[in-house]
Amino acid sequence: MAANTVSSSLATRTSARATAGLIALLLGAFLVFGVGLANSAALHDAAHDTRHSYGFPCH
Amino acid sequence: MIVRFLLAALAAGLIAGLAMTPAQYIKIVPLILQAEAYEGGGSAAVSTHDHGAGTTEVAGHDHGAATPAGHAHANTDAAAPASAAPEAHSHDHGDGESVLGLGRLGNTVLANLAAGGGFGLMLAAAALLLDIRFGKGKQAVGRGLLLGAAGWFAVQLAPAWGLPPELPGFPEIDLQARQTWWMITVALSAAGIWLVALRPEWIAKSLGVVLIVAPHVYGAPQPADISSAVPAFLAAEYTVASLATTLGFWLLLGGLLGHFLSRVDEGASV
């Protein structure tokens, strides 16, 4: 019983890590793409100095 | 618990992103502003140089300080396009109008926060999905610093071997080709550094080295004409400033992330 609880809570924690990891990956990629790579004039102008600082391809 | 992981990542990213703005204003932004004076007008100066090679006007332009008074007029003419460039060239760099009506500084603060949050989330995603554990206390900060250094390697140093951080006015290469090469290189370098640093098998480590080297063997997109109106000294200073400043960003991000994520882990085990 005790072993069961431990293994199930371990499974929950592992799946929580995986779920959080996937959400973080999608959200992070969306933000990085918007700041660094999106081909929109408004975003380019606003993020101009940031894009250059991080060495994103620019112009 | 999922939300706490995400908040930990976001908090680390936002703090590091906030610190990035003052760090950029030490060296990076002044160099960008200096380079913008050569951008656009620079191309006119370069074409004069190319087509008028050997004429006295070009010589007067190059050695302005040493020319006799008689050349002064031609000298100012040649110099004019460069100084007028910031107003003349086609796109805006956030000086005037913007999406949210913020000035250039405000735009940069926001963009740095978004970039910091984005990189923080992606670095945390790598740690969570690859099941990297941070341990406790100082050990967590130390491992976080190493993770941040790996992020700097994959996102800054590795792509910079092929596409060095650009100043405005650098020789033009097709933007899409550069972005594609940049993304592929970052992805391969990240996978490569993971294999080299965290996989014990020698075959995995060798594969990691291959992944890191591959995009450079293939080659980054190159400009047809490497001449640029931006002085080489500024470009060299800029490359160092960009790599150094982003190293600070990634180390701060990694250290904070290690600390925060270890706290979430600890909280969960109680």
Q: Where do the domains of chain A lie?
A: 24-59
Q: Is the pLDDT of residue B182 over 60?
A: yes
- Residue numbers in A near B250 (CB within 8 A): none
In a domain, B91, yes or no: no
Q: Is the pLDDT of residue B159 over 80?
A: yes
- Is the separation of the CB atoms in B152 and B247 below 8 Å? yes
In a domain, B90, yes or no: no
A5 touches chain B (CB under 8 A): no
Q: Work out the pLDDT band at B48, boundaries 50, 70, 90.
A: very low
pLDDT of residue A14: 82
Give the count of domains, chain B. Answer: 1
In a domain, B202, yes or no: yes
Domain assignment of residue B156, given as a range: 2-39+107-269
Picking from A37-41, B27-31, B67-71, which range would have the lowest pLDDT averaged per residue?
B67-71
Picking from B119-123, B168-172, B230-234, B253-257, which range would have the lowest pLDDT averaged per residue?
B168-172
Indicate yes or no: CB of A55 within 8 angstroms of CB of B156: yes
pLDDT of residue A15: 87
pLDDT of residue B34: 94
Using a 10 angstrom Cβ sphere, with 0-12 exposed, 13-18 middle and 19 or more buried, the burial of residue A42 is: middle
Picking from B64-68, B143-147, B178-182, which range would have the lowest pLDDT averaged per residue?
B64-68
Quick one: average pLDDT of B242-262?
97
Residue A57, both tokens: 């391809």
- b or e along B164-199 (b: 16 or more beta carbons within 10 Å of the residue's beta carbon)? bbbbbbbeebeeeebbebbeebbebbbebbbbbeee
pLDDT of residue B269: 53
Q: What is the ipTM of this complex?
A: 0.87
In a domain, B79, yes or no: no
- Per-residue H/E/C for B240-266: HHHHHHHHHHHHHHHHHHHHHHHHHHH
Cα–Cα nearest to B24, from A55, A5, A21, A31:
A55
pLDDT of residue B49: 36
Percent of chain B with pLDDT over 70: 76
Q: Is the pLDDT of residue B220 over 80?
A: yes
Between residues B85 and B28, the one the model is more confident about: B28
Q: Is the pLDDT of residue A16 over 60?
A: yes
In a domain, B21, yes or no: yes
pLDDT of residue B85: 38
Which 22-51 residues of chain A touch chain B by CB within 8 A? 22-25, 27-37, 39, 41-42, 44-51
Scanning every residue of chain A, which has its alpha carbon at the shortest distance from the alpha carbon of B3?
A20
Residue B147, both tokens: 């993770």
A55 touches chain B (CB under 8 A): yes
Quick one: average pLDDT of B29-37?
94
B212 vs B214: CA distance, rounded Å: 6
